[in-house]
Structure 1
Amino acid sequence: MSGGVDSSVAACLLHEQGYDVVGVFMRLGSHDHGPQGDDSANDACAAKDSRAAQDACAINAHEFSPQTPRTVPLPVQSATPRGDRHRGCCSAEDATDARVVAGKLGIPFYAINFEKDFSKLIDRFADEYAVGRTPNPCVLCNSWLKFGKLRNYADAVGAEYIATGHYARLDWREDGAGMARPILRTARHTEKDQSYFLFGVSTRMLRRTLFPLGDLTKEQVRAHARRLGLAVHDKAESQDICFVPDRNYAAVVRARRPEAFVPGEIRHVDGRVLGRHDGLPQFTIGQRRGVRVAQGTPIYVTGLDASTGTLTVGPREAALTGALRASDVQWLIDRPSGPIRAQVRVRYNHAAAPATVTIDAANGDRSSAGDAIRSGASNGESTRRVDTVTVRFDEPQWAVAPGQAAVFYDGEIVLGGGWIDAAV
């Protein structure tokens, strides 16, 4: 329960359906990255002797057990004011909003501190930008943290399922062994569909997952919230990565990896040197704004070479590619024995494009901490066979960026996905 309308309604609907619901708020930290980081949203966590601090700062993840008392109740109050009280999600106010909903339902509520684990995801985000890639931390947060680390606490309280407010659906089909297998599908409300962010969740974990909102539109969710008398019914949505809600990705990288900001050349695809930049972490493939070179025609980023510090730019068509290579591929279907046809999304906000996906080679088992995060392995799934694939599109695609996820679909069904290494 994040304190937003989606997870609140998900909990309420399950409660109405007769499930024995336990609310969990994942305390992920203040997300402060620089001199402007002392916003009032996290004042409760600075005041260690306050009741709010005990709730919002939460039980430390490594200290949790089924016998751990629930966190100290907060005073019942209305939902977080609609003003800009905090940036992103998972603030002290969000914890209060989640607890108020749990109190209305009369269900147990825990606030668990995952700040140390989440900090690893932020470090990885910074590391990726530092080497010229464009990461997608939301995918990793789902596969490694929400549906990985959080499983420990579901087990500790004897929970059969983990339910979230994601807009996605699960169906069940019989596999070759006669066992029911979960099939991840897009949400009925296609504009809100979040299946792209869930490809890394293992089939094993999907078996014990519930998505109560998969068949609802956002408007229907808000209507349910009003019907249920939830004060969060009109709470604004979080539109950005939660630890960089002002979209200043470079500031996060600069705070954690300042050595990555090395000036370098800006080169045109034809080889001409057009100027200099202040650091590659400020750029991504397809970017136009901020390049600061005058050519008389629009110029876009087409490449980033961290080994030389070179930023390559060119006309829009130079940022088109007909194929990509992706690694750490996870299949949510039986592993294909040959090339398959699929629709492939190369960023969350890109339309799926028809393509042929071919497995190149098995990468082998992943076991290191970094690889475990990227492949989504966690707690009992620390090693997993993963593949490298080549995706060849029927038509060239715009701004294929290393570090983003390539997710494969068959209509509404998610077949799997992996991490883009290069446009080829």
Structure 2
Amino acid sequence: MGRRVVLAMSGGVDSSVAAHLLKQQGYEVIGLFMRTGAHAETAERRAKTCCSVTDALDAQAVADRLDIPFFALDFERDFSRIMDNFADEYLAGRTPNPCVLCNVWLKFGKLWAYGKQVGADFVATGHHARIVTDPDGSPQIARALDAGKDQSYVLFGLRRELLPNVLLPVGEYSKEAIRDLARELALPVHNKQDSQEICFIPDDDYLRFVRDRRPGSSEPGRIVDEDGNEVARHEGIEGFTIGQRRGLGIAFGEPRYVVQIEPQSKTVTVGRREALEKGGLEANRFNWQVPRPKGPLACSAQIRARHRAVPAVVEPLDGDRVRVRFDSPQPAVTPGQIVTVYDGDLVLGGGWIDCAIDPADVA
């Protein structure tokens, strides 16, 4: 079997150590950096992103240190689609997850297509997740050894037929062990902090980005309480997300949260925390990582990157839709975000949350 692998190198410690691990395992490693056109102006902000000019230089320095070929690919036009989607989702009252699209469209899409052009047999990244073999010999995505750093949640969208060609070398290590390895190898990024922000919004001002990207698209509307009484006005639903508490500009004497966003009427509903509790959800564009079940399937469901997966049942609906019913209600089920369902550590599949289901409506 071939041993050439293209590795997405972001200039961070995980992908840098991944290059070493792959080379140690006998692979011919080609490092690839995705030039996206996203920029960060200050040193502090650059340290929190993953695709700035400084990151490219860091990745190049690591490649030189490890003596592997390195190329920067121009993905700016393709990445523009991700930024457009981000803005459009907020304007539609949803809260997007651009990193998932980056994984599916670019890292395991365009980057792998380039890899095949140069005769690569595998594509690899520094994600904290694993590829394991199930009893029938098929590869499956699984949680990382380091549960606190696990990123399997965002990999549900990978095509099943691609998995035999995917390598995730850091998933078998704790984050501490990865940093120790980087230090032992004297990699220049050994103490570089993890990226914490969306790379094309280094100042963390999502609202300004959306309005700059789509000027003139904001539409004012009402903010109402759970009884439908108007309590304030807003300048655009893109300024809100489900579960939001701060920045509402309303004084109630006790906490209020965004519990619903109605894109047609441009209405934002605020309520008490208990109104955030939902019994389930429906998701679309669901990608099964196992054969599509014929009926309801017990699982655990994760609805945010920092959400602990909870017992649930996933049921296939028509087309690429599913319904997920939680064993106990969960807070802030957010349209536009993703749900990934698991069997233990194994990813069963995932999709994009379309709507939440009230506890009383869960059969």
What is the CA–CA distance in structure 2 between the aligned matches of 1:128 and 1:317, rounded to whole Å? 26
Q: Which residue, out of 96, 105, 127, partners 1:166? A: 127
1:235 corresponds in structure 2 to 192
Q: Which residue, out of 336, 352, 358, partners 1:403? A: 336
Shift in Å, 1:356: 1.2
Report SS of the residue matched to 1:213.
helix
1:29 corresponds in structure 2 to 37
Note the alpha carbon deviations across 1:245-293, whole angstroms, 9 max, x for none. 3321111111112333222110001111101112111110011001111
Contact 2:93 2:263 in 1 (8 A): yes
2:50 corresponds in structure 1 to 89
What is the CA–CA distance in structure 1 between the aligned matches of 2:51 and 2:315, rounded to whole Å? 40
Shift in Å, 1:240: 1.5
1:17 corresponds in structure 2 to 25
What is the CA–CA distance in structure 2 between the aligned matches of 1:299 and 1:344, rounded to whole Å? 26
1:354-369 to structure 2, matched below 5 A, reads 354-362=311-319
What is the CA–CA distance in structure 1 between the aligned matches of 2:97 and 2:91, rounded to whole Å? 14
1:223 corresponds in structure 2 to 180
1:308-387 to structure 2, matched below 5 A, reads 308-362=265-319, 387=320
- Please state if 1:134 is matched with 2:85: no
Note the alpha carbon deviations across 1:189-238, whole angstroms, 9 max, x for none. 00000000100011112210111101111110011011111111001111
Percentage of matched positions with identical amino acids: 52
Q: Which residue, out of 321, 340, 346, partners 1:413? A: 346
Report SS of the residue matched to 2:138.
strand
1:367 corresponds in structure 2 to none
Contact 1:260 1:281 in 2 (8 A): no
Shift in Å, 1:85: 4.9
What is the CA–CA distance in structure 2 between the aligned matches of 1:181 and 1:295, rounded to whole Å? 55
What is the CA–CA distance in structure 2 between the aligned matches of 1:228 and 1:405, rounded to whole Å? 37
1:384 corresponds in structure 2 to none
Contact 1:260 1:280 in 2 (8 A): no
Report SS of the residue matched to 1:396.
strand
Contact 2:63 2:69 in 1 (8 A): yes
1:306 corresponds in structure 2 to 263
| TM-score, length of structure 2 as denominator length | 0.93
Contact 2:339 2:352 in 1 (8 A): yes
Q: Flag the 1:254–1:345 CA change in 2: closer, same or farther, 3 A.
A: same
What is the CA–CA distance in structure 1 between the aligned matches of 2:153 and 2:16, rounded to whole Å? 22
Q: Which residue, out of 105, 116, 119, partners 2:80? A: 119
Contact 1:332 1:414 in 2 (8 A): yes
Report SS of the residue matched to 2:189.
helix
Q: Flag the 1:83–1:404 CA change in 2: closer, same or farther, 3 A.
A: closer
1:244 corresponds in structure 2 to 201
Shift in Å, 1:173: 2.5
Report SS of the residue matched to 2:336.
coil
Shift in Å, 1:89: 2.1
What is the CA–CA distance in structure 1 between the aligned matches of 2:107 and 2:46, rounded to whole Å? 25
What is the CA–CA distance in structure 2 between the aligned matches of 1:330 and 1:83, rounded to whole Å? 37
1:45 corresponds in structure 2 to none
Shift in Å, 1:417: 0.7
What is the CA–CA distance in structure 2 between the aligned matches of 1:291 and 1:27, rounded to whole Å? 37
Note the alpha carbon deviations across 1:38-74, whole angstroms, 9 max, x for none. x37xxxxxxxxxxxxxxxxxxxxxxxxxxxxxxxxxx
Shift in Å, 1:351: 1.1
Q: Gaps spanning 5+ residues in structure 1: where?
A: 32-36, 41-81, 363-386
Q: Gaps spanning 5+ residues in structure 2: where?
A: 1-8, 358-363
Counterpart AA for 2:80: S
1:191 corresponds in structure 2 to 148
Counterpart AA for 1:403: G
What is the CA–CA distance in structure 2 between the aligned matches of 1:14 and 1:86, rounded to whole Å? 25
Shift in Å, 1:15: 0.9
Q: Flag the 1:83–1:321 CA change in 2: closer, same or farther, 3 A.
A: closer
Report SS of the residue matched to 1:351.
coil
What is the CA–CA distance in structure 2 between the aligned matches of 1:170 and 1:85, rounded to whole Å? 31
What is the CA–CA distance in structure 2 between the aligned matches of 1:113 and 1:282, rounded to whole Å? 32
Of residues 11-20 and 127-136 in structure 1, the stretch that sits farther from structure 2 once superposed is 11-20
What is the CA–CA distance in structure 2 between the aligned matches of 1:6 and 1:183, rounded to whole Å? 21
Contact 1:330 1:416 in 2 (8 A): yes
1:369 corresponds in structure 2 to none
1:212 corresponds in structure 2 to 169
What is the CA–CA distance in structure 2 between the aligned matches of 1:204 and 1:170, rounded to whole Å? 13
Report SS of the residue matched to 1:255.
helix
Report SS of the residue matched to 2:95.
coil
What is the CA–CA distance in structure 2 between the aligned matches of 1:231 and 1:106, rounded to whole Å? 14
Q: Flag the 1:142–1:84 CA change in 2: closer, same or farther, 3 A.
A: closer
| TM-score, length of structure 1 as denominator length | 0.80
Counterpart AA for 1:113: D
Report SS of the residue matched to 2:17.
helix
Contact 1:304 1:312 in 2 (8 A): yes
Counterpart AA for 1:242: C
What is the CA–CA distance in structure 2 between the aligned matches of 1:105 and 1:87, rounded to whole Å? 24
